[in-house]
Structure 1
Amino acid sequence: MERMIEVNLLTKRYGGTTAVRELTFAVRPGRVTGFLGPNGAGKSTTLRMVLGLDAPTSGTATVSGSPFRDRARGLRHVGALLDAGQVHGGRTAAAHLGALARSNRIPRARVDEVLEEVGLAGAARRRTGGFSLGMRQRLGIAAALLGDPPVLVFDEPLNGLDPEGVQWVRGLFRGLAAEGRTVFVSSHLMSEMEHTADHLVVIGRGELIAAESLAEFAARGTGAGAGVTVRTPQPAELTLALRAEGATVRPDSDRADAALAVTGLDAARIGALAHRHGVPLLELTPRSASLEAAFMELTSGSVEFPAGDAR
């Protein structure tokens, strides 16, 4: 229970609309847990209930065994970034963090430490109204780190960051998890979750779809990109032979060369089939399942406004 987020039968209704329905999952320390779902799935509502900003209609959301709103000096227990824009534009970065530090009885020296950690030491005396979105994101991350908390929650922390910033955040989250902290990250960027998260909580229309490792979730998608990349000087002959055995063959859209993407047969069977037909192979590489393709497949029934929907 220590350092863990626990959600049990969590439900939130707004009039006749149910935004979150009987969600149950746990976010454990020592790993980065990605929180995924289509737009309107209820991710932000769930995070607000975890942080005590919204009251659930029923069910519970606790951090280390207690509701977060019951904890005094909350930044020492949970650091959170929900909206990087919620900063008074007339304050400097240092003044903004200083006010948070005073209200949570955090030493003033910690402000300089976190500004240095997020790369904003040189902008400490600048007013935040002139910050770019990426700089505001870094400031929000600094605020989350201010109390050196064991539990961290981030909602879309990569918005506005340049490639260097994205790489930095990826390393930061993994480093925090390696220290034994609980790291819960909501994001719509599948490629980043694929490189960052160890575990996933996936919801759609307010209901739980999956709570499992990234690899387990990706493997659940039947069309999730798993298969074999094949390169041969005789693609037409090999394609005919593979399709005769029931395989699906198409050009590999991820490659600039003439490689083929084959599904329905494993690498060993493809190699044996090529040998039997006298077709030389230049490459035979198993492909791992794609998180993005699995996500699209497994949440297809939970998309609020599908592309092409005329409503």
Structure 2
Amino acid sequence: MIEVNELTKRYGGTTAVKDLTFTVRAGRVTGFLGPNGAGKSTTLRLLIGLDRPTGGTATIDGRPFRDLPRGLRHVGALLDAHDVHGGRTARAHLTALARGNALPKNRVDHVLDEVGLASAARRRIGGFSLGMKQRLGIAAALLGDPPVLLFDEPVNGLDPEGVLWVRGLFRRLAAEGRTVFVSSHLMSEMENTADELVVIGRGHLIAAESVSDFAARGTRSSVRVRTPDTEALTALLRAEGADVRPAAADGPLVVTGLDAPAIGELAHLNRLRLNELTTATASLEEAFMELTADSVEYGAEDPR
């Protein structure tokens, strides 16, 4: 389990993380989300002892990472897939990590096989693609068979097969009772992989809850409406102040500004037949954009 309590980190006059408190439970895949500059990378560095907090605590199973002997046995982390010696082979890199953490040599071949790099074990890392470096970083995180795992943007550079493999790996690790904490900018991946979310902005906590509960906090729900009387219903809905747009060619209308009961009543009063009337809640991406809007460091104009 990961516990962060009133964690604060300042660099000179800049506060990267302030009074941050959350818990990441075992047996779950927990996504770590936030706009650029939110403090995610700083938080991860504080968790594994690469930086010291200005205030508060960040602990792994009740202890700071610096107090854990042979750290890879307790925590595995992938923070930067490029942070490896390009002149070493994949096997040499992992062997050095295993030796430094008193791990059995057979773990090296085991994790190379697990991440699909067994055939590249003797190749120099400098010739690896980004996807291969990501797999090597995941192998390093798994090397000590730790109960807690941290991953920062783990699917960068992976092909579709690799992305599906990572999803399955994270779910399996969580099902084994491990703590899996994944930082990502890809909402689709979090929607498909994570059970819970920790969302921060400008170093402050925005939410710590299930994916479904966070998505439900988005207010931009819409209603899908299908009718043979598209033009007539569109005119009525717009007269009531609703926004109406087609979802796709010959598809249902997507209506915002009126809820499903109001649309159904309006259609009934005007004798219009409805073939579909479905409320769609905001997607995870829509909820994220809405709830972190005030925390975006570098915003761009809407191109529409």
TM-score (norm 2): 0.94
Q: How many angstroms apart in 2 are the aligned matches of 1:126 and 1:299?
A: 43
Give the counterpart letter for 2:93 in structure 1. Answer: H
1:215-254 deviation per Cα after TM superposition (whole angstroms, max 9, x unaligned): 111111212xx322222232121123334455432222xx
Partner of residue 193 from structure 1, selected from 190, 195, 202: 190
Q: Partner of 1:230 in structure 2?
A: 225
The residue type equivalent to 2:246 in the other structure is P
2:97 partner amino acid: L
Aligned equivalents of 1:308 and 1:194: distance in 2? Answer: 26
1:150-209 alpha-carbon deviations (Å, 9 max, x no partner): 100001111111111111111111111111110000000011111111111111111111
Alignment of 1:283 with 2:263, yes or no, is no
* Cα distance, 1:257 vs structure 2: 3.5
Amino acid at match of 1:277: N
Q: 1:102 is aligned with what amino acid?
A: R
Matched-pair contact (CA < 8 Å) for 2:89–2:123: yes
CA distance in 1, matches of 2:20, 2:250: 46
CA–CA separation in structure 2 for the residues paired with 1:21 and 1:132: 37
Counterpart mapping for 1:93-108 below 5 A: 93-108=90-105
Separation in structure 2 between the aligned mates of residue 256 and residue 128 of structure 1, nearest angstrom: 48
Identity of aligned residues (%): 76
Q: CA RMSD in A?
A: 1.7
**Which amino acid in 2 is paired with 1:206?**
G
TM-score between the two structures when normalised by the length of structure 1: 0.92
- Aligned pairs (5 A) from 1:100-139: 100-139=97-136
Counterparts of residues 8-19 of structure 1 (less than 5 Å): 8-19=5-16
Question: 1:86 aligned to 2:79?
Answer: no
Which residue pairs with 2:287 in the alignment? Answer: 294
Q: Match of 1:32, SS? A: strand
In the TM superposition, residue 272 of structure 1 has moved relative to its aligned partner by 4.5
**Alignment check: 8 A CA contact 2:152 2:183 kept:** yes
Q: 3-state SS of the aligned residue for 2:108? A: helix
Q: Of 167, 171, 175, which residue of structure 2 is paired with 1:170?
A: 167
Alpha-carbon distance in 2 for matches of 1:81, 1:61:
18
> 1:241 aligns to what SS in structure 2?
helix
> Mean alpha-carbon deviation: is it higher for 26-35 or for 263-272?
263-272
Alignment of 1:1-311 (within 5 A): 4-223=1-220, 226-245=221-240, 247-252=242-247, 255-308=248-301
1:241-300 Cα deviation digits (max 9, x unpaired): 334455432222xx3434211234444553444344232334333323211111111111
* Letter in structure 2 aligned against 1:36: L
Give unpaired runs (5+ residues) of structure 2: none
Specify the SS of the correspondent of 2:10. strand
Q: Distance in 2 between matches of 1:256 and 1:291?
A: 25
CA separation in 2, counterparts of 1:93 and 1:234?
A: 63
Match of 1:262, as an amino acid? V
TM-superposition CA deviations, 1:116-161 (whole Å, max 9, x none): 1111111111111100000000010011011111100001111111
**1:168 is aligned with what amino acid?**
W
Residue 194 of structure 2 contacts residue 211 of structure 2 at CA under 8 Å; is this kept in 1? yes
Residue 101 of structure 1 deviates from its aligned partner by 0.9
Using a 3 Å threshold, how does the CA distance of structure 1 residues 257 and 192 change in structure 2: closer, same or farther? farther
Moved more, 290-299 or 243-252: 243-252
Tell me how far apart the structure 2 counterparts of residues 257 and 55 of structure 1 sit (CA, whole Å): 58
> Counterpart of 2:157 in 1: which secondary structure?
coil
Provide the rounded CA distance (Å) in 2 between the counterparts of 1:170 and 1:185: 11
